[in-house]
Amino acid sequence: MSNEIAQVRAVLDEWGYRLGRDDDTLLPMVACRLFLLNRSPHVDELTTELFDRVRRERLLPGTQMNTLHALQRAVSALGFCDPPRQGTGRHSGRATGGAPDWERWVDRWHATSTLTPRTRSGVRSNLLKVGRWLQAEHPDAADPADWTRQTCAAWVAALDRMNVGDYVQRTVGLKDRVGKPLEASSKEGQLAALRRFFADCQEWEWLPRRFDPQRALATPRSIAALLGPNPRVIADEIWAKLLWAGLNLDQEDLPQTRSGHFYPIELVRAITVTWLFSGLRSDEIARLRLGCIRWQHQDAPIPGDSDQVLARDAVCLLDVPTHKTGTAFTKPVDPILGQAIDAWQAVRPDQPLFVDRRTGEQVNLLFAFRARRVSSSYINNTVIPMLCRKAGVPATDVRGNITSHRARSTIASQLYNAKEPMTLFELQAWLGHRSPQSTQNYAKITPTTLTRAYTDAGYFERNVRTIEVLVDRGAVESGAAAAGEPWQYYDLGHGFCNYTFYEQCPHRMACAKCDFYTPKDSSKALLLEAKDNLQRMLATIPLTDDERAAVDDGQAALDRLLGQLADVATPAGPTPHQISAAAQATLLPVIEINQRPT
């Protein structure tokens, strides 16, 4: 009997099962129980019917069911029975319920549809919810052939008022969300599933075309207005802590089970670093192939079995499989990611081939252990909570829960807002999007970048100018200013203006040389500049639209401004036409600071 169990141990050891160790007692216990039930001590006589009987009659305690599952997989690999069927696990129960006629039609559609298995199962679950509503509210419409536009309108109205937990098979996992209104995306998913069902049934000539599903089951405008892409970027300070936690992951940080750590630390590190640096969807990470990392230096590939030390400027390339929006492609990634994956591949046990859920190919998955693929939900359920605990940050921020897809939008936003940013089309190629419109949803401009762009645009400086002001401190201290003597002079370049309310003068950009004006070539101006008690200041002058045009557009705008002011009275009273001296246009100097005493 020991030799029989040793055959199973060899298979489990190759896959990385811990229960394949020689000091393990659980495997011999389960195997001996099966041998007794089968009345034979030979592994090659363990049949699929025996495993099904043990499960059906619950002949083993719950703690041994996982060992039974592993044992059947090993016996199947040896070629003596069938592998465990889908549906024997605790998370694989198939949804049922609702009107029987409706469920039969749904199962017929499910068996015929060419959608991917996961999408097909999701549509089926949504359709069964319609069946439960029909059984409760419209039992006369349980047959899809009896549906009319009125039935469609009734379902759309009921869905619009539906709450979480209504017409579902079970509420486990909904927690405190039960009774709250459905989100717009959930309502759209329900309507899209029903549209798909009726459109396919009509196209396959199973049902008469009594109504157009695209119109009768269209998403109401009130719901459609709430829909749209909403990539939620993680704040920089939180993302930096998550990066630190991922790069410093230790064995003690891994979640514990009753039998120890489920996955090796190298596998968890590789998945974690891939999530933090690759910008991939969780499904793409779970479907990465063995050998997806390639290195090259100066456009020359580096052999995988080479002992060459990677150069500092070696490029790490990641091969991404066929994904949601396109075919397979290759993208550059940080060498840290390549080193983490290489470390996992060095200790990865040999695994059987798996069927790629999207392409149907037999492939060697990178993230597989114990002859099982790592679930695409592993990042959400295990990796992110583990990193949040280590980094000391909450798993929820102001934008909602930290999920696997938020890393994709965060990385894209940082690449788009970098000091040397990626262009939109470069970012599109890196993310693997089919169109730049999808990339625009991820290319969020950060407030810092927006602030820098706003400052560089010079909105305030464009609408104001600074001008130098000479303050005659002697006139102020002697009291002459109080007696009406001029004490401040605005430097116009070609002369000085001592009009106290200069910023309100309509002629300040086209001085008409009124009584307040003193040319710089006059003796009065020379005496003023010779004073040793002058204080030089800078005053900010707001510009009107015409004045700003004169500054921005040049001489033509200045001439137009002079013409407009020809009949406007100066502070002294007369208009420029009445003043013998010709008016002169003045450009105020642009100075960065607003006020500077000297």
**pLDDT at residue 311, rounded to an integer:** 52
In this predicted structure, the answer to whether residue 590 has a pLDDT above a threshold of 90 is: no
Q: How is the chain split among helix, strand and coil, in percent rounded to 5?
A: 45, 10, 40
Q: Please state, in angstroms and rounded to a whole number, the distance separating the CA atoms of residues 356 and 362.
A: 6
168-184 pLDDT, tens digit per residue, is: 887 777 777 888 999 99
Give pLDDT, residue 313. Answer: 62
Mean pLDDT of 403-427: 91
pLDDT at residue 224 is higher than 80 = yes
Chain center to CA of 19: 40
Q: How far, rounded to the nearest angstrom, does the alpha carbon of residue 180 sit from its chain's CA centroid?
A: 26
Which of 382, 296, 310, 306 has its CA nearest to residue 339?
Answer: 310
The Cβ of residue 202 has, within 10 Å, a number of other Cβ atoms equal to 17
Give me the pLDDT at residue 380, please: 94
18-22, 89-93, 193-197, 374-378: the lowest-pLDDT one = 89-93
pLDDT surpasses 70 at 388? yes
| Phi, psi values for residue 126, rounded to 5° | -65, -40
Q: Is the pLDDT of residue 541 over 70?
A: yes
- For residue 580, pLDDT beyond 70: no
Give the per-residue pLDDT at 405. Answer: 92
What pLDDT is attached to residue 12? 86
pLDDT value, residue 481: 79
Residue 16 has what pLDDT? 80
Backbone angles phi, psi at 497, to 5 degrees: -120, 125
pLDDT digits (tens, 9 = 90+) for 328-380: 999 999 999 999 999 999 999 999 999 898 888 899 999 999 888 999 899 99
Total Cβ atoms within 10 A of residue 279: 25
Mean pLDDT within 292-316: 69
469-478, 569-578, 579-588, range with the lowest pLDDT:
579-588
Q: Is the pLDDT of residue 528 over 60?
A: yes
pLDDT of residue 430 exceeding 90: yes
Per-residue model confidence (pLDDT) at position 92: 43
Residue 597 has pLDDT above 50, yes or no: no
pLDDT tens digits for range 56-98: 888 888 778 888 888 888 898 888 898 887 654 444 456 677 8
Extents of the domains making up the chain: 2-77, 100-224, 236-447, 460-564
- Average pLDDT taken over every residue of the chain: 83
> Residue 588's pLDDT band (boundaries 50, 70, 90)?
very low
DSSP letter string, 69-110: HHHHHHHHHTTSSPPPPTT-STT-PPP--S-HHHHHHHHHHH
Provide the pLDDT confidence category of residue 227 given band limits of 50, 70 and 90: confident
- Predicted pLDDT of residue 594: 43
Q: CATH homologous superfamily of domain 236-447?
A: Intergrase catalytic core (1.10.443.10)
E-strand spans in 248-363?
293-297, 300-302, 315-320, 329-333, 354-355, 362-363
The pLDDT, as a whole number, for residue 265 is: 93
